[in-house]
Amino acid sequence: MIFIEAEQFRPNRALSFAGRLLRKLCIDGPLLIALLLLAGAGLFVLYSAGGQQADLVLRQLLRVGVALAALLVVAQIPPKYLRMWSPWLYLAGMIMLILVLVTGASGKGAQRWLDLGLFRFQPAEIMKLAVPMMAAWVLHSRRLPPDAKDLLKLLVIILLPTILIATQPDLGTALLICASGILLVLLAGLSGRFILLAGGLAMGALPLLWHFMRDYQKQRVLTFLNPETDPLGSGYHIIQSKIAIGSGGVFGKGWLNGSQAHLEFLPERSTDFIFAVLGEEFGLLGLLSMLVAYLFVVSRGLYIAVHGQDTFCRLLAGSISLTFFVYVFVNAGMVTGLLPVVGIPLPLVSYGGTSMVTLMVGFGMLMSFQSHRKLLPT
Amino acid sequence: MLYREPLKDTWAEQRLFNNRIVWALTGLVLLTGLLASRLINLQVVEYQRYADLSHGNRIRIQPLAPTRGIIFDRNGVVMAENLPVYQMVLIPEQVSDLDGTLDRLGELKLIDEEQRQRFFQRKRGKRSFDAVPLRYRLNDEELARLSVHRHELPGVDIQAALVRSYPLGSSAVHVLGYVGALSESDLRTVEASRYAATSHIGKIGIEHQYENQLHGEPGNRQLLVNAQGREMDAKGGAREELLRNRKDPVPGSDLVLSLDSRLQAVAETALANRRGTVVVVDVNNGDILAMVSQPGFDPNRFSAGGMSNEEYLALRNDIDKPLFNRALSGTYPPGSIVKPFIALAGLEYRAFTARHSILCEGYYSIPGNEHRYRDWKKEGHGETNLSDAVAESCDVFFYMLAMDLGIDRIHAMLADFGFGETTGLDIPNEKSGLLPSRDWKRGAFSRRSDQIWFPGETVITGIGQGYMLATPLQLAHFTATIATRGKRFRPRLVTALRNPLSGETTEIPPQELAPVELADDRHWDVIHRAMDAAMNTPRGTGWSTSLGAAYKMAGKTGSAQVFSVGQEEEYDEEEIDERLRDHALFVAFAPLENPQIAISVLVENGGSGGRAAGPVVRQILDAWFQGQKR
């Protein structure tokens, strides 16, 4: 073995008990603390947004617990294995996506769920991780930047699940998965010419995309462009959400005092629009603090990516971190009226289970990359 | 494995990756900056606008209905009040199967088909969480039945409300009027903002005339509402602020009426089930002590919202016109009641004196004309002076007197009393009656030949027939003027307003009208003696009425012709259809020496005044003076 365990290089560094415990558990302290802070703040806001129902918060707390357990488990898995499993995970995800399309039980007018008897399951969630993992797996053994042949391969790997999920139809998730793949390719060193070419193609594809969008999706885009045209219909979400945030001012109305949220003016306030509740009750200071916490998580992720052991770790860590930021930006952008309403929850804070687990598994991978680093001997 | 991998320049790749990460960080910072600037724009720059929008979003002002004033009679007996009742309401959003629920209520006999239809009318325009009334008033038995079955009827609720109630039922209904559901057309006549929370409004009578005073001023309270307008619980500071901004409604004024509900009841009983009117007035201030118009109806059926369309139409189209207040809207030929007034004109214009007499042969003809104006007594009254003529109601005497006076003088005297104009009673729909004159006739007819006043018309005016019309209220009012020797008061029903909060009472002073002034005041004595003779001498038409009374009354009988009898025909009461018989009339005042009250009684198609209306007069006067003694 030419690689030596990282710890063995710094055996004498004085570590507190907590530090030793974290190392033993393969946990990255700063990242964990930031995640816990965000999830904890989320529970606070949720208590207010959900109409002060304790059981709602308890259920969310349970989800956080399960997600943290998943994080802990994944963090123990050496990156090598994660890489080896990537194609199989991707394959399984694709099969399930096709199954959903063929037999999937329909929830909320969209076929997203696969009923496995014991529990219902959203295959798109797997793909959120499987797509960047697969892409990283492909690039791991190649020279970077990728050549045209590799790019074509990646294009298929990314677009296939994207299209399948978009037809469910779950445009939000499809876009996020697509973004995670594209971000990974960009990090892999895609040349500027390709970026320009892809940008041009994307612009050209917009009318085509419009043609394939469902009516409600078109409506969302239209009302985004001019919400006041339909203040009681589709524009209602955006207007009420802007009122909630704007009326919060710099310091907010105080916890549990947000009238927009408590008087039910604000729709979906414990899920997609929880950012507006935060803005109403905690004001600009609250929102900026939240954004700083998110930025810290992303930065820490990018730090881990930069220090990644190999191409797979670097690309995957970078993609997971940046996709996380995309989540935050798209949600905040939609709630503040910068972006059209796409059903993307605010990560770690919005009420809801599956995406929380997926996120934490992703962070578990980051921690695995960080804690299983082996250094070349000098 | 290693040999199959292409050569990788690890350091170059790391540099490339790091470079990309720097780009990513730049993008991160830019996008976060974009978000932050958006937040600053919303929360700092446009803060005030959104704060206002948010405030406007959540406060709704709910008007609160004031409590309607209570109506008392002169002795403090409640005539109109507000009673708590139980309403049955339905909240549509809480009902999963609306038709099923209504069917079940139908099975339980709690609603009928018409109420079901009305429910759907009321439901229109309401929001799904608004309670829609199904029934305005449940009786105890229905309330019990509903309570037993409540569990099967989710969304059906019982609500307490105040409903106008008239404890004396149909008594004095035409005076009090009633309240009915506020309609679109009502809203055009009132200030809509004052009625935002009011469900009922006075439709006729006192309830209508004094609507402004009875209604009161609405208050309002602020509610915290959600996006659908549903009321939400306010907590803490918000709750205190809402309570602080509450404005309580100011209840309407209570009214004290001049009516004596006991006398009113006596009058109603005395009329029994006959169509007719009674008006009793205090001669010294114009107070209406009783005002009856029969048939009547029960006003409680209007206010409780329980009256069906059919019932209302039945009331409206009833041949006996129960909704119609005959006492002030019904105009009748005054008949012989007018005789004392004509006599007064004769004295005043010296066409006649108390000592002169004429010979009554049972008919009168205008000189040079064959037409015979007949007396009610076929054989005639013989030698008749003014007092006899009033007492026996001799027609021939007044035919001659009218001819001697001429229509212009008759008009002048009767106009002084107020014939032909409304008395100014403080409830609506009073009719003025008709006092004919040459001028009137010129204006009333379009044909030239009809516009001329004929002498024959003067003749019959002398006995109150022809064009002349008066309301029963006017007759009582004119009689009161005789009783007070010319002093006139505007008749009134409301004597005081009372503030229900402070108990402070504002008396309304009696209003004196221009008196009837005679050249010689002794003429009043002549008329008083003549009306005394009509009641208190055996030959008087009112003799049977006053027989054995403990007080002395003066009066005059009359009958208003409904049906013209031909020149050679006999008027036979028995043979004529009941509705074509003469209306029986009677006016009186008492006591003669020191008059207190005046009364007019009309019994429609009752025939002779003395026989049909006399007993009614007697019972009312007896009741009044017995009450005085106690």
**B24: chain A residues, CB-CB within 8 Å:** 183, 186-187, 302, 318, 322
State in Å, rounded, how far the first CA of chain B is from the last one.
Answer: 130
- Mutation choice for A interface testing from B46, B54, B235 by most A CBs within 10 A: B54
- pLDDT over 90 for what percent of chain B? 41
* Whether A45 and A103 share a structural domain: no
Q: Per residue in B527-537, pLDDT tens?
A: 999 999 999 99
Tokens of A69: 């357990």
**Helical residues (DSSP H) of A252-353, grouped into ranges:** 259-262, 274-306, 311-335
Name residue, tokens 């002084």.
B416
The torsion defined by the Cα of A73, A77, A81 and A83, in degrees rounded to 10, comes to 80
A198/A296 same-domain check: no
Question: What pLDDT, on the 0 to 100 scale, is given for residue B578?
Answer: 73
> A152: domain range?
85-213
The 10s digit of each residue's pLDDT in B259-281 is: 999 999 999 999 988 899 999 99
Residue A98 counted as domain residue: yes
Q: Quote the pLDDT of residue B161.
A: 81
Say how many C-beta atoms besides its own lie within 10 A of residue A27's C-beta: 19
Q: Report whether pLDDT(A132) > 60.
A: yes
Inter-chain touch B24–A322, beta carbons under 8 Å = yes
Q: What is the DSSP code (8-state) at residue A310?
A: S
Q: Measured at the alpha carbon of residue B119, what is the angle toward residues B114 and B124, in degrees to the nearest 5?
A: 135
DSSP 8-state symbol, B557? E
Q: What is residue A53's predicted lDDT score, i.e. its pLDDT? A: 83
Between B74-83, B508-517, B602-611, the lowest mean confidence (pLDDT) is in B602-611
Q: How close does chain A come to B20, measured CA to CA in Å? A: 5
The answer to whether the CB atoms of A243 and B36 lie below 8 A apart is no
Q: Does the pLDDT at position B564 exceed 80?
A: no
SS3 assignment, position A71: helix
Query: Across all residues in chain A, what is the average pLDDT?
Result: 83
Identify whether A225 is part of a domain.
no
Residues A195 and A281 in one domain: no
A9 found inside a domain: no
What is the DSSP annotation of B399-417?
A: HHHHHHH-HHHHHHHHHHH
Residue pLDDT, tens place only, B477-519: 999 999 999 999 999 999 999 999 898 999 999 999 999 998 8
Task: Determine whether the interchain pair A259/B17 forms a contact, defined as Cβ–Cβ distance below 8 Å.
Answer: no
- Whether residue B291 is predicted with pLDDT greater than 70 in this model: the reply is yes
Task: Work out the percent of chain B whose per-residue pLDDT is above 70.
Answer: 92
**How many other C-beta atoms lie within 10 A of the C-beta of residue B131?**
17
The answer to whether position A100 is within a domain reads yes
Catalytic residue among B336, B559, B600, B608: B336
Confidence (pLDDT) at B251:
92
| Contact predicate B328/B473, CB 8 Å | yes
pLDDT the model gives residue B272: 86
Residue B3 has a pLDDT of 46
- Is residue A113 located within the same domain as residue A172? yes
What is the C-alpha to C-alpha distance for residues A118 and B615, in angstroms, rounded to an integer?
96
Tell me: do A366 and A238 sit in the same domain.
yes
Closest CA to B483 of B618, B286, B259: B286
Helices (H), B60-112: 98-107
Most confident of A251-265, B123-137, B142-156: B142-156
Is A225 a residue whose pLDDT tops 90?
A: no
Q: Kindly tell me if the per-residue pLDDT of A108 is higher than 50.
A: no
For the entire predicted model, the pTM comes to 0.63
Kindly determine whether residue B7 and residue A245, on different chains, have CB atoms separated by under 8 Å. no
- Do B419 and B482 meet the contact criterion of CB atoms below 8 Å apart? no
List chain B residues with CB under 8 Å of A146.
Answer: none
Q: How far is CA A285 from CA A191, A256, B43, in A?
A: 40, 16, 10
Distance separating alpha carbons of residues B603 and B583, to the nearest angstrom: 6
pLDDT at A377: 41
pLDDT, average across residues B63-76: 91
- Tell me which range, B67-76, B95-104, B303-312, is most confidently predicted by mean pLDDT: B67-76
Q: Would you say the C-alpha torsion A213, A106, A352, A274 has a positive or negative sign?
A: positive
Q: What is the pLDDT of residue A268?
A: 80
Tell me what the mean pLDDT of segment B236-256 comes to.
Answer: 82
Give B134→chain A minimum CA distance, Å. Answer: 29
Considering the domain architecture, whether residues A336 and A291 belong to the same structural domain is answered as: yes
Q: Which of A33-42, A62-71, A109-118, B571-580 has the lowest mean pLDDT?
A: A109-118
| Whether residues A59 and A145 fall in one domain | no
pLDDT value at residue B228? 60
**pLDDT tier at A211, thresholds 50, 70, 90:** confident
pLDDT in the model for residue A91: 95
- Per-residue pLDDT band at B7 (split at 50, 70, 90): low
Q: Characterize the bridge pairing of strands B488-489 and B363-364.
A: unpaired
pLDDT beyond 50 at A118: no
pLDDT (tens digit per residue) in A197-208: 878 887 888 787
Q: Are residues A244 and A345 located together in one domain of the fold?
A: yes
What is the identity of the amino acid at B188? R
Q: Is the pLDDT of residue B207 over 80?
A: yes
The mean pLDDT of B75-101, rounded to a whole number, is: 86
CB atoms within 10 A of CB B347: 23
State the smallest CA–CA distance between residue B59 and chain A in angstroms: 10
What is the pLDDT at residue B10? 79
The pLDDT value given to residue A2: 45
User: Does some domain include residue A265?
Assistant: yes
Does B134 or B71 have the greater pLDDT score? B71
Bridge-partner residues for B488, per DSSP? B513
Same domain, A209 and A125: yes
Question: Per-residue pLDDT averaged across A153-161, rounded?
Answer: 92
Say if residues A195 and A186 touch (Cβ distance below 8 Å): yes
Q: Label residue A120 exposed, middle or buried (CB < 10 Å: 0-12, 13-18, 19+).
A: middle
Banded model confidence at residue A8, pLDDT cuts 50, 70, 90:
very low
- Pairwise CB contact (< 8 Å): B39 & A263: no
Facing residue for A265 by CB, picked from B25, B38, B227: B227
All residues at 6 or more sequence positions from A17 whose CB lies less than 8 Å from its CB, including other chains? none
Residue A121's beta-bridge partner residues?
Answer: A114
CB-CB neighbors (< 8 A) of B14 in chain A: 314
Banded pLDDT at A376 (limits 50, 70, 90): very low
Whether residue A26 lies inside any domain: the answer is: no
Average pLDDT over residues B108-131: 78
Side-chain-side CA neighbours of A147 within 13 Å: the count stands at: 5
Q: Span A165-193, mean pLDDT?
A: 85
**Res. B599: pLDDT tops 90:** yes
Among the ranges given (A228-237, B106-115, B217-226, B243-252), the one the predictor scored with the smallest mean pLDDT:
A228-237
Q: 3-state SS string over B465-500?
A: CCCCEECHHHHHHHHHHHHCCCCEECCECEEEEECC
Pick from A137, A144, A310 the residue to mutate for testing the B interface (most B CBs within 10 Å). Answer: A144
What is the pLDDT, as a whole number, of residue A287? 95
Closest residue in B to A251 (Cα–Cα): B43
Which residue type is seen at B347? L
Rounded Cα gap, residues A373 and A364, in angstroms: 14
Joined together, the tokens standing for residue B247 give 């404005």
Of A149, A178, A213, which one is at a domain's C-terminal end?
A213
Give yes or no for B1 touching A (CB within 8 A).
Answer: no
A262 and A353 belong to one structural domain: yes
The CA–CA distances, whole Å, from A89 to A82, A313, B410 equal 10, 17, 119
**Cβ-Cβ contacts under 8 Å for A215 (sequence gap 6 or more):** none
pLDDT at position A375: 56
3-state helix, strand, coil in chain A (%, to 5): 70, 5, 25
Give the ipTM: 0.88
Q: Does B58 touch chain A (CB under 8 A)?
A: yes
Total domains in the fold of chain A: 2
Mark whether A334 and A254 lie in a shared domain. Answer: yes
Express each pLDDT in A286-309 by its tens digit.
999 999 999 999 999 999 999 988
Place of tokens 């029994």: B272
Structure tokens, B447? 């044909």
Is residue B38 within 8 angstroms of chain A, CB to CB?
yes
- What integer pLDDT is reported at residue B571 of this predicted model? 58
pLDDT in tens, B403-418: 999 999 999 999 999 9
* Angstrom distances, CA of residue B424 to CA of A282, B465, B491: 70, 24, 7
> Is it the case that residue B383 has pLDDT exceeding 80?
yes
Rounded percentage of chain A residues whose pLDDT exceeds 90: 42
- How far separated are the first and last CA of chain A, in Å rounded? 14
Q: Compute how many other C-beta atoms are within 10 angstroms of the C-beta atom of residue B175.
A: 27
Please list every residue in chain B whose beta carbon sits closer than 8 Å to the beta carbon of residue A287. 39, 43
Q: A215 pLDDT exceeds 60?
A: yes
Q: Which of the four pLDDT bands, split at 50, 70 and 90, describes residue A235?
A: low
B18-29: average pLDDT = 92
Q: Are residues A274 and A345 in the same domain?
A: yes
How big is chain B, counted in residues? 630
Instruction: Say if B30 is an interface residue toward chain A (CB within 8 Å).
Output: no
The mean per-residue pLDDT over the stretch B609-628 comes to 87
Give the pLDDT confidence score for residue A3 in this predicted structure.
Answer: 46
Is residue A3 included in any domain, yes or no? no
SS3 call for B113: helix
Which H or E run includes B223?
Answer: strand B219-224
Active site residue B357: no
CA distance B84 to B235: 30
Evaluate if residue A1 carries a pLDDT over 50. no
Establish whether the linkage from the previous residue to B295 is cis, with ω within 30° of 0: yes
Mean pLDDT, chain B, as a whole number? 86
Task: Choose one of A213, A244, A269: the last residue of a domain.
Answer: A213
How much is the pLDDT for B2? 47
Q: Tell me the residue type at B263.
A: L
Does the pLDDT at position A129 exceed 90? yes
Whether the per-residue pLDDT at A318 is higher than 70: the answer is yes
Across B63-90, average pLDDT:
90
The pLDDT score that the predictor gives to residue A160 is 92
Among A182, A213, A244, identify where a domain stops: A213
Tokens of A321: 């971190």
Higher-pLDDT residue of A293, B153: A293
Nearest-neighbour CA in chain B from A375: distance (Å): 14
